Chain A
Amino acid sequence: MESFSNKRKVIESKPLNLWERIYLPAVIKGLAITLKHFLFKKDVTVRYPEQKREFSENFRGMHSLKRDEDGRERCTACGLCALSCPAEAITMIAAERKPGEENLYREEKYAAVYEINMLRCIFCGLCEEACPKEAIYLDGDIVPADYLRKDFIYGKDKLVEAPLNQ
């Protein structure tokens, strides 16, 4: 068949000639190449637990629920993140802010329970985009390994940012 791309190459497989059939020249050539690697090439390994490679700027890692400049939780439990989540990893239970809790929650409605199932999460970042309150960001580290499925359901204790220091 005719080639349309002009990229087709006809490869002949010729029988080896004597020089190739005694193998030794090729063997020595190969040995020289590997010896070069043995002596001169430096390894490129990152010694992982001790040494970490820097993440790229738009790396999406573990979620964190943000606080505002006064240290109040920004999340208002609107549920848009859960709605946008293609993996259905997010669930929450909303609650009303009581008088006197204004220093804890910015809006009148807040998430009493906020859970992300890290086994379901695909780290697409759609929750981040959906959030109208700039309350959730995937700016954390890699989610660590664990033994039990239930330990991968992260609640507010793991997700909410540490309170501001006064």
Chain B
Amino acid sequence: METGEIIVRLVLIVVIFLISLVIAMYSTYAERKIAAFFQDRVGPNRAGPAGILQPLADGAKMFLKEEIIPTNSSKFLFIVGPSLAIMTACIGSAVIPWGQQIQIGSKLYDLQVTDINVGLLYIFGVVSLGVYGVMIGGWASNNKYSLLGAIRAASQNISYEIAMGLSIIALLMTTNTLSLKEIAAQQHGWHWNILYQPLGFLLFIVCSFAETNRTPFDLPECETELVGGYHTEYSSMKLGFYLFAEYINMFVSSAVMATLYWGGYNYPGMDWVAAHLGPVAGPLIGTIVLFAKIFLFIFFFMWVRWTIPRFRYDQLMDLGWKGLIPLAIANIIGTGLWITFVK
């Protein structure tokens, strides 16, 4: 790799990191505002015009709160838990292609931090690492509620990861690659994978809700039964990291869904736009389109949260093992038949 490319990569890493942090910050604000609108309320409106500075105030509050580490907790792991949660949340976005190649001078630059050929597997690996943050934190707290919350989180994530993986296999059968860059490129124009894999997408989005611990699958932090779930004992910014990780996860899984099924940076008429706006502005509009899709997904996450009540735990397991996994297998078989006989 030469210097120019390394600089572009570094800039990209910093920019994406900052963007995911800012989006996570403002997701907390958006969540409260959107919740308010769904419930015919106003939402935060004190800090700044329309409450726009609320996330900053919340962040400052988190940092200034007293840091409590329970006496009987395992201190090292107690600190490792939230760090792991936020770290795994942040590195997931490394393989997502944010746009087409940009031409600066005579060189082409990827709008992607790294294009590893097993990008999809990487994302799965990172997502399953995220469970450790929850698990370790809950266990290290030395608190029954935390432990129960952590166990719920672990078993839920593992159960739904199977269905998620199976739904991805059907997608891979049609794309023939694990590289997210190629998957995105294949969906040029309007050839989005959602058209070929509607059931797969449905399974994937349901599993994403479970993986990010969002309602209706937010049992790990179910307040009525488990006090605060796995982060009951946490305070100050360590709690903030857990909450923050959830929103970054939401952002990353929205980006993954948009890339895998909804065409990523592709949109109908992109060739015409690229021809008229040149090699820099054209791909950047694609990036804007990708972000619009991501925001729609984040909105959908919140929309569902403020609509649907939480599943009971046995219902959750029923749905995962008896509903989603057989459906995902059926989807694989259907896709196989379709590839063999129709395509």
Contact = CB atoms under 8 A, between A and B. Distances in A.
Interface in A28-65: 30-31, 33-35, 37-38, 41-45, 47
A31 B215 CA distance: 13
Interface string B151-182: 00000000000000000000000000000000
A11 interface: no
A47 B50 CA distance: 12
B40 A44 contact: yes
B40 A34 contact: no
Interface residues of A, number: 16
Contact of B38 (A34, A42, A47): A34
B303 interface: yes
Interface band, chain B:
10 to 19
Contacts of B319: 23
Contacts of A47: 42, 45
B37 interface: yes
B304 A38 contact: no
A45 B42 CA distance: 7
Contact of B34 (A23, A38, A42): A38
Interface in B290-343: 303-304, 306-308, 319, 323
A22 B203 CA distance: 12
B307 A41 contact: no
Interface in B28-49: 34, 36-42, 45
Contacts of B303: 31, 34-35, 38
A23 B39 CA distance: 23
Q: Which of B34, B42, B304, B307 has the most CB of A within 10 A?
A: B307
A31 B40 contact: no
Nearest to A39: B37
A27 interface: yes
Contact of B308 (A27, A35, A45): A27
Contacts of A44: 40
A43 to B, nearest CB: 5
Contacts of B41: 43, 45
B330 to A, nearest CB: 13
14 contacts: A27-B304, A30-B307, A33-B307, A34-B306, A35-B303, A37-B38, A37-B39, A37-B40, A38-B37, A38-B38, A41-B40, A43-B37, A45-B41, A47-B42
Given A38-B303, A47-B42, 4 more contacts: A23-B319, A37-B40, A41-B40, A47-B45
Q: Which 10 A-B pairs have the closest CB atoms?
A: A34-B307, A30-B307, A45-B42, A41-B40, A34-B38, A38-B37, A43-B40, A38-B38, A31-B307, A43-B42
